[in-house]
Structure 1
Amino acid sequence: MTSPCSFPPKPTIPPIIHEPQDPNIPPPLPPSPLDLALPPLPCSLQASVPPPPPPPLPPPPSAVEVVPHVYGLEKSQLLKEALEKAGPVPKGREDVKRLLKLHKDRFRSDLQWILFCADLPSLIQEGPQCGLVALWMAGTLLSTPDSVSLQRLVQVAMERGYTVQGEMFSVADMAKLAQETLDCEAELLCGGLGGPNRGRVLQHLITGHPLLIPYDEDFNHEPCQKKGHKAHWAVTAGVLIGVQTVPIPGYMEDSELPGLFHPVPGVPNQPPSFPEESSPGAIFLLSKQGKSWHYQLWDYNQVRDSNLQLTDFSPARAADGRVYVVPAGGVQAGLCGQVLLLRPRESH
């Protein structure tokens, strides 16, 4: 601990005594240019100039809060504050409309589209925190009594032995972490997003509940197939469904984009008929992940296929000298074909 700075005692100014000037003493030298550069102080200030006040003493050790270093949290917070100063994050509906306008060729013109979405905040990750960032974003939709910080999620995950660097290679561990920190219900769904799980996932999303999905991340953050070498996490908070006919009543057409419909808030509506799994390009997941502020629309089958091929641990990570928590059975046992359904805990 650094000791408080000490200062020497204030020198005593001797009294000024006026004596007759000796004629043999030469007159004083003229002032130097440096002295002329500064205006003379008033007499009252020349007589006594008080010293500057000493700096405040450091607080005692008991008053210093020791915060453990959380990998990447500082940068994430800095970026979050920068975004708040720049403006609000685009809401889900507006972000989807932006994507529909930019990539209209990706969406079938023979279908009408119904958008179910929930608004998520954004937080940029630093390091392998994608799963915990996705869980933090999902937590804002779960009606928890108190907001849970990313730092808290990282802390509990480390204490329970789920992670070392912030990585999460186990959907089962993610479920336990969600239940403990967010006081929510977490359902681990095995067997992938297709087959009998497809209807359950879509029904979960249209009711406004979040879904956590591990997948392989491509250069543009979209799902790809790299055998788990680019394993990443995303949170899905909505779905865009293409239908032949929009159920009536309960839906309204968008004022800017004809053919796009939204559920009317507070009005009961009939869920649409889900397209067949063999129908390409008819369902898109509205997702966010920790490397972008914006939502993305991913083809459902593309996400399904990426999630089903997570089998290997990244050779680059294996050689980077860091320690990672990987479950018994590796990435395949921890992530492959698994997703996490999160919903608020039912009150009894």
Structure 2
Amino acid sequence: MAGTLLSPTSGIPLERLVQVAKERGYTAQGEMFSVADMGRLAQETLSCQTELLCGGLGGPNRDLVLQHLITGYPLLIPYDEDFNHEPCQKKGHKAHWAVCAGVLLGVQSVPSLGYTEDPELPGLFHPEPGVPCRPPSMPEEGFPGAVFLLSKQGKSWHYQLWDYDQVRDSNLQLTDFSPSRATDGLVYVVPTGGVQAGLCGQALLLRPRESSN
């Protein structure tokens, strides 16, 4: 899904991604418990630049994430998936990946240049394609309901808007390997240090290789 966002005309079949991941020793069943391995897989198969984000999605990383999404590039985030695909906190037992393709910001005012109001939803503004625009002032961290990530999980048919803080908190508590997986008789690739070392507080920024941003 992230590859399609980076280069809509050059889709990589999922089977090819899994094949390469197995050949490189990143996965056994299709699981991916290492953000670093996911980055290496993306570089090889999607011909893109990747940036591994550590230390959670809050603090200084928050501005990096928001600016990245505003620029139009995708973000891959491991998180615990609830029954409705939204973020929850299960200590990593429901760890899955989501791709974030955009951001919805609740702001006090919209810059006058480079944005157009949605014809059907008053108060919703979109950047004008091809027009340089100044990003609006970012909502302060911790201000409830001000930042939502346009996100999709592979098993869902639709994108959803997830509260940024809920995604941040879910990503920051990925610590344990699922007990049900540990006893299902299958073999999984788990990095040294376990799920916590491989996923907790980490995310992956993807950019086209030709980009200098």
TM-score tier, shorter chain, comes to: over 0.9
Matches within 5 A, 1:296-315: 296-315=160-179
Deviation at 1:146, TM superposition (A): 4.0
Partner of 1:244: 108
Say whether residues 1:193 and 2:57 are aligned partners: yes
* Residue from 292, 295, 298 that aligns with 2:159: 295
AA aligned opposite 1:221: H
Q: Is the 8 A contact 2:36 2:198 kept in 1?
A: yes
May I ask how many residue pairs the two structures share in their alignment? 212
Superposed CA RMSD in Å reads 1.4
Partner of 1:220: 84
Say whether residues 1:148 and 2:33 are aligned partners: no
1:173/1:319 CA distance change after superposition, 3 Å: same
AA aligned opposite 1:310: L
Matches within 5 A, 1:105-254: 137-143=1-7, 146-254=10-118
Q: Is the 8 A contact 1:248 1:269 kept in 2?
A: no
Structure with greater Cα Rg: 1
Partner of 2:140: 276
Give distance in 2, aligned partners of 1:329 and 1:268: 44
Give distance in 1, aligned partners of 2:14 and 2:89: 29
Partner of 1:108: none
Give distance in 2, aligned partners of 1:178 and 1:347: 15
The runs of at least 4 aligned residues of structure 1 exceeding 6 Å deviation read none
AA aligned opposite 1:268: P
AA aligned opposite 2:12: V
**Secondary structure of 1:141 counterpart:** helix
Deviation at 1:143, TM superposition (A): 3.1
Deviation at 1:282, TM superposition (A): 0.1
Say whether residues 1:259 and 2:123 are aligned partners: yes
Give distance in 2, aligned partners of 1:240 and 1:179: 28
Give distance in 2, aligned partners of 1:267 and 1:279: 29
Give distance in 1, aligned partners of 2:135 and 2:102: 14
Q: Is the 8 A contact 2:4 2:10 kept in 1?
A: no
Deviation at 1:265, TM superposition (A): 1.6
Consecutive unaligned residues of structure 2, counting only runs of 5 or more, are none
Query: Identity, % of aligned pairs?
Result: 82
Deviation at 1:141, TM superposition (A): 2.2
Q: Deviations over 1:2-39 (max 9, x none)?
A: xxxxxxxxxxxxxxxxxxxxxxxxxxxxxxxxxxxxxx
Partner of 1:47: none
AA aligned opposite 1:291: K
TM-score (norm 2): 0.96
Give distance in 2, aligned partners of 1:278 and 1:336: 20
Tell me which of the two structures has the higher relative contact order, counting C-alpha pairs closer than 8 angstroms and 6 or more residues apart: 2
Give distance in 2, aligned partners of 1:161 and 1:337: 23
AA aligned opposite 1:275: P
Consecutive unaligned residues of structure 1, counting only runs of 5 or more, are 1-136
